Chains A and B, each alone.
Chain A
């Protein structure tokens, strides 16, 4: 029964995506072209990486609001390590990613060791990590990166944007892990019933710690890609990206209460949001109108899925 309703939501979402693509293709000649769609994939990558990690976190019944701040912190640190401290750029990026991953690990420790609810823990670190980014940067941006660095964010490999390869690889690996490994099942088990999972001998704390660390890592990698794409670092980078990611995850059918959700759903959710954003702006709708529509789509999608699910589970 559960599987059935899952399939339902994703089918429904995929239909919505196809409808949106068809309608948008008729609105503008420039929408349904290979180069435009690939470019949208480029713009989708940072949110995408974060949203995939967030799918796991939300599937355990948790949430990570600090990802946008971790992104900002890692972006700033990449610039500072390279420009002010003088590390070679690859090492600077790796060091910054390491710090960002540790920031995620810190979230995990606060949540698992101290028992702070994830929403509060990451709300606090959202302020803390963004604050660190602002304090370290002192509102100065770092520019002028070497040319090879832009391969990551602005160039193509085999005709496809570099970062889109990364996103696709991560999506495939993550969906296999979540759907087919014991560890993935553990994630669902924790989200369905944490107490029962603990009594069943699952390592609840270790799994959660790993997930928040991974979430930090995903945000850190997204940060380096972001810097490479826009050629600069600023401390306000990625602010609000947590809400975009959560929207994609929830739209993708992951239950905010945990226990349910797939990476595929999240990816379809992401594509739908990006298609709407881009297609509508090409069709002449202003960005603000698009934001409104995404909000409405989010509510309607969950409403529709609730109605289907209830009619499906009644008997």
Chain B
């Protein structure tokens, strides 16, 4: 494997603003260009693609993936991984929906998944940081436990009759769909936090070079637990958007959701080796996936080919990224 590089950015350079952007946000730019290119091409083939209706569907319907990918990016930047997040979102959605149906206050039904997500992921973080079990092993186990637990509790029943006040994902503020606001605000806040606070910066340090981070006095174990907890909070927020999208909650784990979320982080430029990447990239990657999915429908490609096309694009993005990194070094 290649050697980790903690490119914490903000290297003082005399070159122009654009060049700095290109160097620091290379992967984000590639993903952004891909989205733009896709929009232009598909709109030429089918102008209805850029109708306001369709744009809303694209962005709002997939905002929860972007939100979950924010937390995932933090975990990966710290040098860990979480394959249990899909199962976690399934469990949290069921908890949230059950509370809403049982007549608890709506705010409580929204708060509960965030808190429970934080609690469960803190526990995972403790196993990773203090019991020193590799995160892929812990989360692989956690995935089985959450998935099995969910089905044995619910028996696969759907939750229906959700109160209308609960459906935040269907609301609009100033005529902007709520999920879109969530996605943008959370991404911007998380990006600022990671770039400008000591805590946020320390994640890059831990993922980039553990020994060096330890030597500078960063409490690695405690930070690791907190990153997992924050990731759990984002999973909880993503759950709220996911669970309030439709009138029913299917008490099953959305298949392959964890892979979609991890892929969004990675395609957005988060190095799986830790130490680099931004949440702006992961959000854009989530938008890219959604755009591809919608684009295929508008250019009349059979839905059965959707995954193959996404796979090809992922591969192309990854290879472009490797090529870019080599060109840089």
Contacts and interface: CB of A to CB of B under 8 A. Distances in A.
Nearest to A128: B311
B304 A296 contact: no
Which one of A127, A135, A243, A246 has the greatest number of beta carbons of chain B within 10 Å? A127
21 contacts: A65-B259, A115-B2, A115-B326, A116-B322, A120-B266, A120-B318, A123-B262, A124-B318, A127-B310, A128-B314, A131-B309, A135-B304, A194-B1, A239-B256, A257-B134, A288-B150, A291-B145, A295-B140, A298-B137, A298-B141, A299-B133
B140 A246 contact: yes
Interface of A: 61, 65, 110, 114-117, 119-121, 123-132, 134-135, 137-139, 194, 239, 243, 246-247, 250, 256-257, 286-296, 298-299, 302-303, 306
Contacts of B1: 61, 117, 194
B2 to A, nearest CB: 6
A290 B305 CA distance: 35
A291 B141 CA distance: 9
Which one of B307, B318, B326 has the greatest number of beta carbons of chain A within 10 Å? B307
A250 B144 CA distance: 14
Given A110-B319, A127-B263, A134-B307, A243 B314 contact: no
B311 A289 contact: no
B272 A117 contact: yes
A295 B309 contact: no
B268 to A, nearest CB: 12
A302 B2 contact: no
A247 B255 CA distance: 18
Contacts of A123: 259, 262-263, 266, 314
Nearest to A106: B315
B138 interface: yes
Contacts of B150: 288
A114 B319 contact: yes
Contacts of A239: 255-256
Interface of B: 1-2, 81, 83, 127, 131-134, 136-138, 140-152, 255-256, 259, 262-263, 266, 272-273, 302, 304-312, 314-315, 318-319, 322-323, 326
A292 B149 CA distance: 6
Nearest to A307: B131
Contacts of A124: 263, 311, 314-315, 318
A146 B146 CA distance: 41
Contacts, number: 148
Given A294-B144, A298-B141, A306-B131, A288 B308 contact: no
Given A124-B315, A135-B304, A299 B137 contact: yes
A120 B319 CA distance: 10
A116 B319 contact: yes
A303 B134 CA distance: 10
A128 B312 contact: yes
Contact of B304 (A126, A134, A306): A134
B318 A121 contact: yes
Nearest to A250: B137
B314 A135 contact: no
B322 A115 contact: yes
Contacts of B272: 117, 119-120
Contacts of B308: 127-128, 131-132, 134-135
Given A126-B311, A128-B308, A128-B311, 6 more contacts: A65-B259, A127-B307, A127-B311, A131-B310, A131-B311, A139-B304
A215 to B, nearest CB: 17
Contacts of A296: 141, 144-145
B322 A114 contact: yes
A256 B263 contact: no
Nearest to A251: B137
A246 B141 CA distance: 11
